[in-house]
Structure 1
Amino acid sequence: MMKKIKRLMLLKSVIRTNPKGWIEAVRLEEDTGNIRKARELIRKGCEEFPKNEDVWIEACRLVNPDEAKGVIAKGVNAIPNSVKLWIQAARLEHDDYNKRRVLRLGLEKIPDSVRLWKALVELANEDDAKRLLQRAVECCPLHVELWLALARLEKYDAAKKVLNKAREKLPKERAIWIAEAKLEEAFGNTFMVGKVIERGIRALHREGVEIDREAWMKEAEAAEWAGYVWTCNAIIRNTKGFR
């Protein structure tokens, strides 16, 4: 107990300039059972450091549940470009409709946030997810995971177009070529699988991408586990000459 008190006194001497120290002081008050003092201290912390998202998150954790939404609302008003605070605001909602509403508000402020787009897509049905991902790749064109997620939701011809667009934006990304090989295999075009991988390796090589066989072997293993045997074999066969 004495050690905690001494540490608290030390922290109080630096919390004026250090938000991390302020949070630690709050937690020490909480550890000693003085929750009222901890809440009072974190409220002051929000006033002292309104642009620090961790202080707002800590305040949200400490207040009574019926006050949490109000606290986080003040936080996003103070730091409207904080992805962490918008995610926390969505978590505080009790139904998917309101979670989606909050995430959309966050994306109005931060349209290039991959994390917010992914959180919103996870709450959507397939049709809505497709529309959201179409918008997401416009806002975040250099994030391959969004392109691949969109391609998986599209039918064959549309998926091919999505992957072609993804390649234009990310010409050095091997995952796009592997996704196309899996697409061909999924639709029974097994004769195309090897051609796609071969063409992909040549294209990547032209882009100056090092063909790391160990990395490709991991992709082959993942493809096999997912049931894409032709893709797995094509990767193994076409990377034999690389180290």
Structure 2
Amino acid sequence: MSTSRRSEDQQHKEQVPELSKTLKEGERILAPTRRPDGTLRKAIRIRAGYTPQEEVAIYQPKAALLKKEMASHSGPPGYDPALDNSKPKTKSVKRNERKKEKRLQAALEKEKNLELNVTEDSTKLEAVKNDLGSESVQSLTSQINELAVSGSSSVASPVTDSTEGLDSSGCSQDIDKKIRALKKKIRQTESLQQKAAEQDMKPEQLEKLAKLEDWRNELRLLEERVKRQQHDQSLRTTKLN
């Protein structure tokens, strides 16, 4: 086993000069490296301009770099221990140091304000969603109660007067208008839901999306109410005849 491993290692090492003969401009050879189990990895040809992933510098925002620079100083910004015992600083040097310190503080304050604004916006958006949910539940409950009252009154006392017939006709027209308006809202909101992702929507678009299910329920209840009224009307017509 050890003999075969030594021969394999020797082969990998002999590959390096052979690969070096065919190198192009800017290319280099990564020599064989040893694995944890003791075996050698093959030599690798690295093309010109290639940077290994582990060597790519991690991006850091300017404010973070400034914060790191401030933390590395043992004294106030601009303080240099080597020059501590040297000649006094000129006015221009002191002025430049004050400007640099102000820029560092302004960058840190800007970063803090940005984080606060993002947090406040997310909190407001969550509150809007919660408010919309409670309002939708209350609206749906009141509509169901109205339908229940209207249904019981129609069963208890049949309409016999011509004036009541006119009122029911006007009510039917109002319901038809509501149904058309609800269908339009539902159609527009469904189209919006298909075109845009929820995280890309504006607050008013999210408000429409939150009301979509309530609009569907309201539409279903209104359509059932229209069917009930049509049924009652047909019964009254039959009795009159």
**When the two structures are superposed, what TM-score results if normalisation uses the length of structure 1?**
0.21
Structure ranking higher on relative contact order (CA contacts 8 Å, 6+ apart): 2
